[in-house]
């Protein structure tokens, strides 16, 4: 790190998956899996050098986003009778925890059976959030399944929303767009947004719209349709309300690349899923294969609470009190079919 602190990289390896995670941002740096011919290939986007991660405040490649993943309108909300102002870093809003979010921290790391645990203590007032928040994120590999477990405690009422922000391209990192990938999202509703990507508060039915992925559909099939919500997001950059009960580990999404046969299944205990089609990638950053990361060359499936929940009492709560423990699990299953 610029201050001399060492950054640690751990490799998690099985017959099916090889993944590297690093302490800066508690992030996934690389992930390789097999295609239908059993060939290993990199499917997670990332930078080649630590200095590139340090310089990149746009993509959030692979990181743990927090203390509040996604947006808070105006960076303002109240919790525990206190009004809070979070640092603003996305137009008028706070995105992924504000200016110095969890992606900017070099987390403490320690090996655990099957993987690694990252720990971060975010101080009372960090970016404007109240309460000292102690966060643990564990990545473990079990054959072809990556399990991400999140835990957090606080000493004052606060809000917490944590996700992993890995961009995948199942055709291979640096190998074109993800528009051919076939996506299923296990949801009947989504949260429409306004012009700064803040939910309006409405829960809209996806049936019969371009947001209907209840039946597997190619990402690119409707992405350029004349649709106000797609225009506001510059593509897909929306939160789906997942079926089933928050707190239960259940299927959230499946995405399949017909070219390689690679498939990713996402399961989570979270109530929501942000599907982001990589619209803001604009060729600024180089892939490790030498091509540029242009628009829609990677997608994120961010398991999470809904954006701007602190300002929407009708959404599942993101409040955490000192007598509670925040717990959340997301699992990625990687397979390939012939």
Active site residues: 165, 302
Q: Which of 100, 250, 258, 280 binds ligand GLA (CB under 6 A)?
A: 280
Distance from C-alpha of 332 to C-alpha of 179, rounded to nearest angstrom: 20
Q: Which of 190, 276, 285, 306 binds ligand GLA (CB under 6 A)?
A: 276
Q: Which of 10, 24, 53, 60 binds ligand GLA (CB under 6 A)?
A: 60
Q: Which of 19, 31, 73, 95 binds ligand GLA (CB under 6 A)?
A: 95
Distance from C-alpha of 196 to C-alpha of 232, rounded to nearest angstrom: 8
- The answer to whether residue 197 forms part of the interface with ligand GLA (CB under 6 A) is yes
The tokens of 3 are what?
């201050």
Tell me phi and psi for residue 101, to 5 degrees: -75, 180
Q: Which of 35, 237, 270, 308 binds ligand GLA (CB under 6 A)?
A: 237
Distance from C-alpha of 118 to C-alpha of 215, rounded to nearest angstrom: 36
Stretch binding ligand GLA (CB under 6 A), from 214-222, 273-281, 285-293, 315-323: 273-281
Contact 187, 206 (CB under 8 A): yes
The tokens of 280 are what?
């803001």
- The answer to whether residue 63 forms part of the interface with ligand GLA (CB under 6 A) is no
Stretch binding ligand GLA (CB under 6 A), from 54-62, 99-107, 261-269, 330-338: 54-62
Report the nearest approach of ligand GLA to the CB of residue 14 (Å). 28
Contact 172, 182 (CB under 8 A): no
Contact 262, 336 (CB under 8 A): yes
35 versus 237: smaller Cβ distance to ligand GLA: 237
Number of residues that bind ligand GLA (CB under 6 A): 12
- The answer to whether residue 300 forms part of the interface with ligand GLA (CB under 6 A) is yes
Distance from C-alpha of 117 to C-alpha of 250, rounded to nearest angstrom: 23
Report the nearest approach of ligand GLA to the CB of residue 36 (Å). 29
Of all residues in the shown chain, the one whose CB is closest to ligand GLA is: 276
Stretch binding ligand GLA (CB under 6 A), from 7-15, 148-156, 208-216, 272-280: 272-280
Distance from C-alpha of 45 to C-alpha of 56, rounded to nearest angstrom: 13
Q: Which residue has the tokens 């423990």?
A: 325
Residue 197's closest CA among 300, 74, 97, 314? 74
| Residues forming beta bridges with residue 286, ordered by sequence position | 292
Q: Which of 51, 57, 58, 337 binds ligand GLA (CB under 6 A)?
A: 58
60 versus 326: smaller Cβ distance to ligand GLA: 60
Classify burial at 13, counting beta carbons within 10 Å of its beta carbon; exposed 0-12, middle 13-18, buried 19 or more.
Answer: exposed
100 versus 280: smaller Cβ distance to ligand GLA: 280
- The answer to whether residue 44 forms part of the interface with ligand GLA (CB under 6 A) is no
Q: Give just the sign of the alpha carbon dihedral 187, 251, 181, 282.
A: positive
Q: Which of 20, 23, 30, 70 binds ligand GLA (CB under 6 A)?
A: 70
Contacts with ligand GLA, residue ranges (CB under 6 A) = 58-60, 70, 95, 197, 237, 274, 276, 280, 300, 302
């Amino acid at each position: 790190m610029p201050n001399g602190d060492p950054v640690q990289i751990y490799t998690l390896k099985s017959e099916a998956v090889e993944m590297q995670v690093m302490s800066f941002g508690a992030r996934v740096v690389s992930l390789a899996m097999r295609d239908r011919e059993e060939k290993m290939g990199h499917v997670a986007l990332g930078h080649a050098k630590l200095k590139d991660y340090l310089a990149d405040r746009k993509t959030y490649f692979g990181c743990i986003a927090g203390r509040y993943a996604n947006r808070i309108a105006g960076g303002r909300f109240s919790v525990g009778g206190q009004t809070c102002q979070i640092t603003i870093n996305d137009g008028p809003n706070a995105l992924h925890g504000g200016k110095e979010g969890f992606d900017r921290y070099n987390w403490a790391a320690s090996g655990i059976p099957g993987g690694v645990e990252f720990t971060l203590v975010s101080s009372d007032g960090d970016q404007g959030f109240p309460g000292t928040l102690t966060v643990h994120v564990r990545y473990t590999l079990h054959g072809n399944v990556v399990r991400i477990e999140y835990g957090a405690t606080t000493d004052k009422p606060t809000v917490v929303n944590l996700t992993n922000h890995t961009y995948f391209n199942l055709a291979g990192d640096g190998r074109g767009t993800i528009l051919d990938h076939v996506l299923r999202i296990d949801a009947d509703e989504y949260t429409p947004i306004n012009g700064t990507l803040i939910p309006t508060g409405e829960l809209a039915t996806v049936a019969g719209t371009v947001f209907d992925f209840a039946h597997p559909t190619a990402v690119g099939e409707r992405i350029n349709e004349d649709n106000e919500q797609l225009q506001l997001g510059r593509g897909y950059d929306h939160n789906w309300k997942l079926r089933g009960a928050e707190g239960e580990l259940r299927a959230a999404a499946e995405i399949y690349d017909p070219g390689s046969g690679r498939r990713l299944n996402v399961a989570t205990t979270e109530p929501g899923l942000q599907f982001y089609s990589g619209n803001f990638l604009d060729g600024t950053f180089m892939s490790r294969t030498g091509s540029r990361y242009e628009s829609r060359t990677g997608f994120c499936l961010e398991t999470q609470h809904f954006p701007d929940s602190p300002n929407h009492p009708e959404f599942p709560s993101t409040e955490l009190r000192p007598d509670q423990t925040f717990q959340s699990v997301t699992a990625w299953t990687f397979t390939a079919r012939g």
